[in-house]
Amino acid sequence: MSKSLPPLNPINVSIFVGLPIAALILVPAWGIYHGFSVAQWLWALAFLYLNGMSITGGYHRLWSHKAYEAHPALKWFFALWGAGALQNSILIWSSDHRRHHRHVDDNDKDPYSAGRGLWFSHMGWMLREYRSNEPDFRNATDLQADPIVMFQHRHYIALTVLMNVGAPLLLGLALGDVIGTLLLVGLLRLVVNHHFTFFINSLAHFWGRRPYTEENSARDNDLLAFLTYGEGYHNFHHLFARDYRNGIRWWHWDPTKWMINLCSRLGLASNLHREPNFRIQRAILDTQFRKARTALASTRDDGSLLGALEREYQLYKESINTWASLQAERVERKKSALGDALGEKKLQLADKWEKAALRTKLQALEYSMLMQRKRLELLIAQVRLQSQPA
């Protein structure tokens, strides 16, 4: 079996195996010998978040998925601190990630396919020269046209050394402990950030809920969201990759979403893409119907549960049709408003009123779908109860 494995990649092995071993030995040793200050710990945490959020907010949501547009100043910031995360250039990272989405769980094409196991998707994929890992930038021509992306790609090694050695070194001089700062803010922070980010490819494809789709292995997991700067709502993300949010509810821990929001208030980000709530609700209901049908198939049912399910499904189809016709109405009104000879002010007022009326209808529809979701949850619980042996 081992004979068929591709050769190891020596640079990646030293980064992803060598550095954690060095951190495990050197950080506690220096801690015992010399100790670390509170300031050093806080700086390590600050660097961790600066690196982590440049990957999630920059590499991932901005460059890989175009979930929003960013001011050049913000792009430079992400390019610099993202290089400090030592996860390859934006171009390589985003091209790999787009392949991951396009071919998710396909063991031949998804570079970190969860189908090849937890270890492989976490970091095994980087340690050897796997064919699924060969660079192919045909899916990233837009990024090749971005001068900031290309500058970072060309000067990647210099930038990553600057951010991982230069910046902690200067900080160490300022704090009066160069070795300790290099170990904590340089080394330990780097290793911790690596694994926190890798959790998104590994654990977030194995452990958690799948409320939006069961078509792929991606999962929603609150604990992982906490560790991964908000990227733990991975089931949502795989279905709605262009949404700038991963955690869509206000209570979902998604600091990357909050950062992008803040940047948009400051004029640094624009055109934040949000998936319409109706589509999200529809995905949840679709998944619930599928779950209910699967559960029912293995239950002795006298037909009453199936009947209830079919009635719900009928209602659901009606909601979808209503939504489609409301959307059509919206488009139609826009068209007629354009050709109307009404005065500018009058037109604006009429438009406002119509929009409000449409919004109310859509909200009512969304509410009825929410109620339907609750009923379906009860129905699924009933089916499960029935399928248990007495």
Q: Give me the residues that bind Zn ion (CB under 5 A), please.
A: 218
The C-alpha atoms of residue 375 and residue 309 are separated, in whole angstroms, by 10
**Helix segments in the chain, DSSP class H:** 10-13, 19-33, 38-53, 72-83, 90-102, 118-119, 125-127, 141-144, 147-154, 156-161, 167-175, 178-181, 189-201, 222-227, 234-239, 255-265, 277-297, 304-339, 344-387
Minimum distance from CB of 64 to Zn ion (Å)?
Answer: 6
Nearest CB to Zn ion, comparing residues 121 and 287: 121
Minimum distance from CB of 234 to Zn ion (Å)?
Answer: 6
Minimum distance from CB of 204 to Zn ion (Å)?
Answer: 6
Nearest CB to Zn ion, comparing residues 218 and 292: 218
Nearest CB to Zn ion, comparing residues 209 and 384: 209
Minimum distance from CB of 240 to Zn ion (Å)?
Answer: 10
Nearest CB to Zn ion, comparing residues 106 and 366: 106
Nearest CB to Zn ion, comparing residues 49 and 206: 206
Q: Encoding tokens for residue 85?
A: 């995360």
Q: Encoding tokens for residue 334?
A: 């826009």
The C-alpha atoms of residue 40 and residue 175 are separated, in whole angstroms, by 8
Nearest CB to Zn ion, comparing residues 189 and 237: 237
* Coil, helix or strand at residue 289: helix
Minimum distance from CB of 364 to Zn ion (Å)?
Answer: 33
Residue nearest to Zn ion (CB): 218
A 10 A CB-CB count for 54 gives 28
Q: What DSSP assignment string belongs to 109-152? A: T-TT-GGG-HHIIIIIHHHB--GGGS--GGGGHHHHT-HHHHHH
A 10 A CB-CB count for 1 gives 4
Nearest CB to Zn ion, comparing residues 53 and 295: 53
Minimum distance from CB of 190 to Zn ion (Å)?
Answer: 22
Could you tell me if 196 and 228 are in contact, meaning their C-beta atoms sit under 8 angstroms apart?
Answer: yes
Minimum distance from CB of 31 to Zn ion (Å)?
Answer: 35
Residues in the chain: 390
Could you tell me if 114 and 103 are in contact, meaning their C-beta atoms sit under 8 angstroms apart?
Answer: no
